[in-house]
Structure 1
Amino acid sequence: MSLLSVVDTLCNTPRVGWLQRGVSNAETVCAHSLLATLLAAEVAARLRAEGVDIDVEKVIAAAAVHDLAEAYLGHPSREVRNRLRWEEVEEEVFKREFPHLLELFRWYRYEENLVGRVVAFADKLATLIRACRYRQMGYDTDDLVKSLYKRLQEYDDLAHLLDVYVSAYCGGVPA
C-alpha cells in the first residue's frame, strides 16, 4: 500500500467506539491522529519550557505514526482489542510495512521513554477531548470522560498539564 493509500484509508476509517455510541459523522482515525500529534507537540513544548530534556521532533514523529497500522487492520472496538494482544498485532504490521518506523511505534506503544509516554498521554488526551466535544453535542460519553480523566491522572510526570486541557476543552474537571 502506498503512503497516499495509507493516508486515504486512515482519513476514511471512522473510530469504531464513536459509532458504537451512536455518533453520526464519527471522528476518523486520521482526525484523531492529527489531534494527538498536535497535542503531543504542545505537551512536549510545554515540558521543554519547564526545563525537561525532551526531543519535541521525536515526539511529533512518534505521534504522527502511532496509528499507521490501522490502515491495514482497521479500527477495532475496545472489546476486540482486549481479546487480542493488540500491541503485538500492530507491531507485526510495523515490522512488515513500516520497519523504518518501528522504533517510534515501540516508544509509544510500550511507553519505553519520555517521548513514548508523552505520545501515549496525548493519544488518550485526544480521545478525552473528543469525548467532551461529543458530550457537548448531546452524546452520552460521561463514563468515557471520567475514565479517561482518571487514566490520564496516573501519568505522574504529565498530570499537571491535564487540567489545562480539560478546562479548555471540557469545561472543567469531570465530577
Structure 2
Amino acid sequence: MNLQAHADDLLRLVARTERLESFPRSGWVVCGVQGPESVAAHVYETTLIAMWLADRVEENVDTERVLRIALLHDIGETLLTDLPWPVKKFIGKDAIADGEARAVDEVLADAPQGWREAVSAYEDADTLEARIVKAADRIQMLAKSLQYRAQGRGDVQRFWEGTRNFEDYGIPLVRAVLDRLREHWDNDDWYPADYD
C-alpha cells in the first residue's frame, strides 16, 4: 500500500469537490431565487433526510449504503455543475447520462472501490437504499421550495406541477411525507426557521 499515493488521492478529491460549496443549485436560479443553496448544502440535507428515512422505514435497510449513495449522488456536478431541468430537457437524457457518467469517472478516478458503484446504484434506483436516496432528493427539493416561498424568494410553482417530483418509490413513509409536503403547499405555510 502506497500511503503517500492514497494521501494524494484524497487531497485531490477534496480539492475537486470543494467547488460544490460554491455551485448554486441552478433550478432555484431559474426560478429567481437570489443566493440559493449550494450543491453541497443540498447533498447534506438530502443525506440527513435519507438517514432519517432509513432509520424509520419498516424494511431492513443498509444505512451505511444509504449514506454512501446520498453523499455521492451529485458528485458528477463537480465537473458538470448543476444543470437545471430545462437545460437537461433540451440536451437529452442520453447525452446527460453519458456526461454524468464520464464526470463521475473523472472525479472518482482514484476513489476507493465501491464509490462509483454507489453513484450507479443511485442512477439505477433498483435497491431500497437507492430508492430512499432518490426520495430524499425529492423531499429535500420540495421542502426547500416551501422555505423559499415562505421567504418570498422566487417563483417555485413549477416544482409542484405534474407528478415527476412526487414519486414515492414504493415506500409508504415517503408517500406520507410527500402528502404532508403537498398539504403545506396547498395551505401556503411552512415551519419557521427559528426555534421559538
Structure 2 length normalisation: TM-score? Answer: 0.76
1:46 is matched with 56
Question: Are residues 1:20 and 2:30 paired?
Answer: yes
Q: Secondary structure at the match of 1:26?
A: coil
The match for 1:135 among 131, 149, 165 is: 149
How many angstroms apart in 1 are the aligned matches of 2:19 and 2:85?
20
How many angstroms apart in 2 are the aligned matches of 1:152 and 1:19?
18
Question: Are residues 1:155 and 2:175 paired?
Answer: no
Moved more, 119-128 or 87-96: 87-96
The match for 1:80 among 87, 90, 110 is: 87
Structure 1 length normalisation: TM-score? Answer: 0.84
2:132 is matched with 118
Are the equivalent residues in 2 in contact too, given 1:40–1:59 (CA < 8 A)? yes
2:15 is matched with 5
1:59 is matched with 66
Are the equivalent residues in 1 in contact too, given 2:168–2:178 (CA < 8 A)? no
The one-letter amino acid of 2:85's match is R
Equivalenced residue count is: 169
The one-letter amino acid of 1:126's match is Q
For the aligned residues, what is the CA RMSD?
2.3
Structure 1 residue runs of 4+, over 6 Å off?
none
Please state how far the C-alpha of 1:171 moved relative to its aligned partner. 5.9
Q: Which runs of 5+ in 1 are unaligned?
A: none
Q: Which runs of 5+ in 2 are unaligned?
A: 1-10, 188-196
Q: Which structure is richer in relative contact order (CA contacts within 8 A, separation 6 or more)? A: 2
Identity of matched residues, %:
25
Q: Return closer, same or farther for 1:28/1:22 CA change in 2, 3 Å cut-off.
A: same
